[in-house]
Structure 1
Amino acid sequence: MSQSHIDRTWFREVNTAWDGYSVSLGIEEILYDEKSKYQDIMVFKSTSFGNVLVLDGTIQCTERDEFTYQEMISHLPLNSHPNPVKVLVIGGGDGGVVREVLKYSSVENVTLCEIDEKVIEVSKQFIPSMSSCLSDPRVTIHCGDGISYVTEHTEEFDVIITDASDPVGPAEGLYELTFYEKLKNALRPDGVICCQGETPWFDLPLIKNVIGYCRQCFPTVEYALGNTPTYTGGSIGYILCGTNPARDLKIPIRHFNDVELDAMNIKYYSPEIHQSAFVLPRFVKKVLTEEVNIVI
């Protein structure tokens, strides 16, 4: 369980599951600190990473490095689908994933399903670089439970992106087998999903379990890694699944060149990054592909 500590001018993210480790950021000013119906929400202005959104003591995003995560969790699945038209984003009330999805001209509708309306409100106020896109006419906002939403919408979406926080509180059900079964049912033919995949430095048992659930539901399942400095361990994983067994999710469909990437304001993702993200460290690959004991 995560807890936040304010130590004079420092914010410390401490998780009881990560003994002896914490992430710390210098605080310039606390901008917002309230409890919503679902969780504690805090925003502070950091000394070097801009405004920081914290939910239940866990850093969700910072203005300085948020693009690393938003681009990967969005462009990995979008660039693994031949023609994404209708996209569902579960979680992600800060708007970062929606912002990236809207960069594809083929996308006609993006539904944001966020359980906590307060996250959307706070993000609009304090992180407009991420949330201003939510006013785009192609965006539909549904404030409610993601599991219930996908249950009620079958064969409707080309791509589903689950921008979930850690598996505690309102996000706990997003890491269970039944959820991935419902995700598959909500996809159109040739559909793709991408889920936040935690960090192998601290969460390998959980990652292994979720990968196992996904393999029961999808013919193609892959795990990718990217770098986000303010996330625990400095890295974050992405679980990519597809319904088309003939499609290699590790190979991007569109090979954007530098001019196109600049026009889309993409700063981290590229076709080369797409392919290299699936080249895993040996200790991760062994755990996810073989029956071995998890020891780090």
Structure 2
Amino acid sequence: MDNIKNGWFTENNTLWPEHKLSLKIENILHQEKSNYQDILVIKTKFHGIVLILDGIIQCTEHDEFSYQEMISFLPLCAHPNPSKVLIVGGGDGGVAREVAKHPLVKEIVQVEIDERVIEVSKKFLPFMAIGFQSPKLTLKICDGFEYLRQNPGQFDVIITDSSDPIGPASNLFTESYFGLLKKTLKSNGIICSQAGSIWENCTEIRNLMNGCKQHFNVVKYGISSVPTYPTGHIGFILASDDEKKVFEEPCFKFNSQELEDKKLKYYSYEMHKSAFVLPNVFSKILYE
């Protein structure tokens, strides 16, 4: 609540102290402190409903689809048969909503440590929390690390939809976490993890990718445009032990009618391929 003054919410965080994003507020819908983090939901003039955790914007009604679709379909469409999928985090339900749309996905397991984020999202973000209604989904309230340790070799795709590397999500940005993911995958499975913006912390992303490369043969970084995230971009680390994996060329392609039927607003075959095309200066940092 300290971030709200004169009818504006201002994101203020030590991860990006040099710039701030402010949103004009209509109403404060909900505020509480769970066992893990501060939860705030506001209604804004332009961006609709906004979920904020520990003072950091997690999603807005206006642009959430670009993040949810890309973190889901970049790995799903890169896998020839993503039958069984694990989601780590994603308490707003948006990733579950998108993963359930893929016709080859038969089973989804989601582990989320903070049950209050789920319940708050069901009440105030039903357009995202609809993902929890999928018959494909089994939801578990537990620690993601513990679940990974207890379920080796189970999943075709693992998607880590985490908040930023502070608080309860800090352990999801470590080399040891990638090692756990590797053990939880089936042979030649794929992981995808939220990895921040190249415009904000490209060197840290390179270090994160180097940690991932200790466990996987192929590691790539893809991007999506999300106007209400720092710098307007967010990126994802994708990895596989399949030495022949080419993430830039999806195995599965939605046709135009399928994109319409599944209400995909951002993701497409063309967006998939372009996600891995980086500005030259950042490509050199990450890959050379």
Shift of 1:4: 5.9
Aligned mate of 2:163, from 159, 162, 165: 165
Question: What is the letter of the counterpart of residue 72 of structure 2?
Answer: S
Stretch deviating more after TM superposition (13-22 or 89-98): 13-22
Residue 235 of structure 1 is matched in structure 2 by: 233
Counterpart of 2:128? 130
Deviation at 1:131, TM superposition (A): 0.5
2: CA distance, partners of 1:19 / 1:130: 29
Instruction: Give CA-to-partner distance per residue, 1:72-112, whole Å, 9 cap, x none.
Output: 00000000111111100001010000001000122121111
Q: Following superposition of structure 1 onto structure 2, how do residues 1-296 of structure 1 map, counting pairs within 5 Å? A: 5-290=3-288
**Structure 1 position 205, deviation (Å):** 2.6
TM-score (structure 2 length as normaliser)? 0.97
Partner of 1:294: none
Between the aligned residues of both structures, percent identity stands at: 48
Q: Does the aligned pair in 1 maintain the 2:149–2:184 contact within 8 Å?
A: yes
Provide TM-score, normalisation by structure 1.
Answer: 0.95
> How big is the shift at 1:127?
0.3
Matched residue count: 288
The Cα offsets for residues 260-285 of structure 1, whole Å up to 9 and x where unpaired, read as 11111101011111111101012211
Q: 1:133: how far off? A: 2.3
> Where do 4+ consecutive residues of structure 1 move more than 3 Å?
none
C-alpha distance in 1 between matches for 2:86 and 2:18: 37
Letter paired with 1:47:
K
1:4/1:12 contact within 8 Å kept? no
Gaps of 5+ in 1: 291-296
Give the secondary-structure state (helix, strand or coil) at the position aligned to 1:194. strand
CA–CA distance in structure 2, aligned partners of residues 141 and 274 of structure 1: 28
CA shift, 1:17, in A, is: 3.6
Q: Output the CA distance in 2 between the equivalents of 1:106 and 1:200.
A: 32
Cα offset, 1:190, TM superposition: 2.1
Shift of 1:201: 1.5
